[in-house]
A = this chain, B = another copy of it.
Amino acid sequence: MGRIVQKFGGTSVGSVERIQNAARRVIKEVENGNEVVVVVSAMGKTTDELVRLAGEISANPSKREMDMLLTTGEQITIALLTMALHQQGYKAQSLTGWQAGIQTENAFSNARILDIDSTRIEDLLKSGHIAVVAGFQGVITETNDIATLGRGGSDTTAVALAAALKADRCDIYTDVTGVFTTDPRVVKTARKIPSISYDEMLEMANLGAGVLHPRAVEFAKNYQISLEVRSSMSDERGTLVEEESSMEQNLMVRGLAFEGNITKITVSNMPNNINALSDLFTILASNGINVDIIIQNVMNEEKTNISFSIETSHLSETQEVLAGFQDKLGFESISYESGLAKVSIVGSGMISNHGVAAKMFKALSDQNILIKMVSTSEIKVSTVVKQEDMVKSIETLHDIFELDARVPVQNS
């Protein structure tokens, strides 16, 4: 007998029919002799609707009250899913975050989980119940306030519960069948990845693959929880996220991630003192501007040029902030280039294959694609290219790294 945590995202519980479908997946695992804990998100567009209501009242609502408001979404789903399980004759009980013992730090809207007191869930499992837990929420122990875990919070709840309960597996049910080598809507030959390491998944997730939140992946990595990302609408096996297997380790490139609407900003002739980089990016961060790739190009001992990439939607804001600090930072001018995109290859095999980046650059230049910026980590190479070259870049790289040529998809 195993112990499984199943997580159903918003689209997987987006209607009564889908909640009933989720119940069937829960029951299947129970019938296989497993103890099951289910974590659910709010139904479909519920959260958006609540955010809209709050927006009609206040442009800047209190975070505490937003958490109070938004946590009702998951509470509705746990009650309905539990009713659906009862209806099929199974013992089940719903639990809000505080009832499930999910204790967070004293912070609203983006609280981290500090601890889980799993006594109540353990008691439910012992007495043959399915525990149905509201994702995305916990309680601040000192104040008895309700806090949310921020974006991807339900994934994090599921993985944290799997760790606390020493579950054998954590299944993340979503609206795609798994993690793909790249976005199948862009590249027709994109293929589902049967297995991916935590670090690779982190790079894929951060780069926009979006099926599993990076926080949840980090949590899973820290506690060595095996995840499976799979569709609630199909019986197809999904993608296993786990410590890399030696057999797979040599795969140079596991997948491709990409992101459009990037702007490159260059700050020219800034005094090259020891605080230059620190001052510049501290100012940007404290003004809420997320910077991605950073390149420094020292002109001479006294002057430096610094380039960085941002989302184009933050361009005018970034320009304003920098203009306001021109005197303090001492740079001569700012220039920018919009209409760019980021294309990245991800794979833990790169660590021992130094030629991977070179192969990527050559493949792109063979297609006359100009690379504007480059950034590398141990398991990833990102390039910034013109937005109009993005799709061609992805197709070219998907091809050159043979991402459509691997093991066939297995059915469970």
Interface positions of A (Cβ within 8 A of B):
16, 19-20, 50, 53-54, 56-58, 61-62, 64-66, 68-69, 71-72, 75-76, 78-80, 82-84, 86-87, 93-94, 96, 98-99, 120, 144-146
Contact = CB atoms under 8 A, between A and B. Distances in A.
- Count of identical protomers in the assembly: 2
A178 B132 CA distance: 44
7 contacts: A16-B57, A19-B57, A54-B80, A64-B93, A64-B94, A65-B79, A68-B78
Contacts of A58: 83-84, 86-87
B65 A69 contact: no
B80 A62 contact: no
A65 B86 contact: yes
A83 B68 CA distance: 11
Contacts of A62: 82-83, 86
A365 to B, nearest CB: 55
A217 B141 CA distance: 36
A56 B57 CA distance: 32
Nearest to A19: B57
A58 B80 CA distance: 9
Given A83-B62, A83-B65, A76 B57 contact: no
Q: Chain A contact residues: over half helix, strand or loop, or mixed?
A: helix
Contact of A79 (B69, B79, B93): B69
A99 B66 contact: no
B69 A80 contact: yes
B99 A84 contact: no
A53 B43 CA distance: 12
A98 B146 CA distance: 11
* The 9 residue pairs across chains A and B that have the minimum distance between CB atoms: A69-B79, A72-B72, A68-B79, A16-B56, A61-B83, A65-B79, A58-B87, A58-B83, A57-B83
Given A57-B87, A71-B75, 12 more contacts: A16-B56, A53-B80, A62-B83, A62-B86, A64-B93, A65-B79, A65-B86, A65-B94, A66-B79, A68-B78, A68-B79, A69-B79
Contacts of A93: 64
Given A75-B72, A76-B69, A16 B53 contact: yes
A50 B76 CA distance: 8
B144 A99 contact: yes
Contacts of A79: 54, 65-66, 68-69
A289 B75 CA distance: 34
Nearest to A75: B72
A98 B61 CA distance: 23
Contacts of A20: 57
A225 to B, nearest CB: 27
Given A54-B79, A57-B16, A68 B94 contact: yes
A57 B79 CA distance: 11
A77 to B, nearest CB: 9
A96 B98 CA distance: 12
Contacts of A94: 64-65, 68
A54 B76 CA distance: 10
Contacts of A66: 79
Nearest to A61: B83
Nearest to A76: B72
Contact of A75 (B54, B61, B68): B68
A144 B121 CA distance: 13
A68 to B, nearest CB: 4
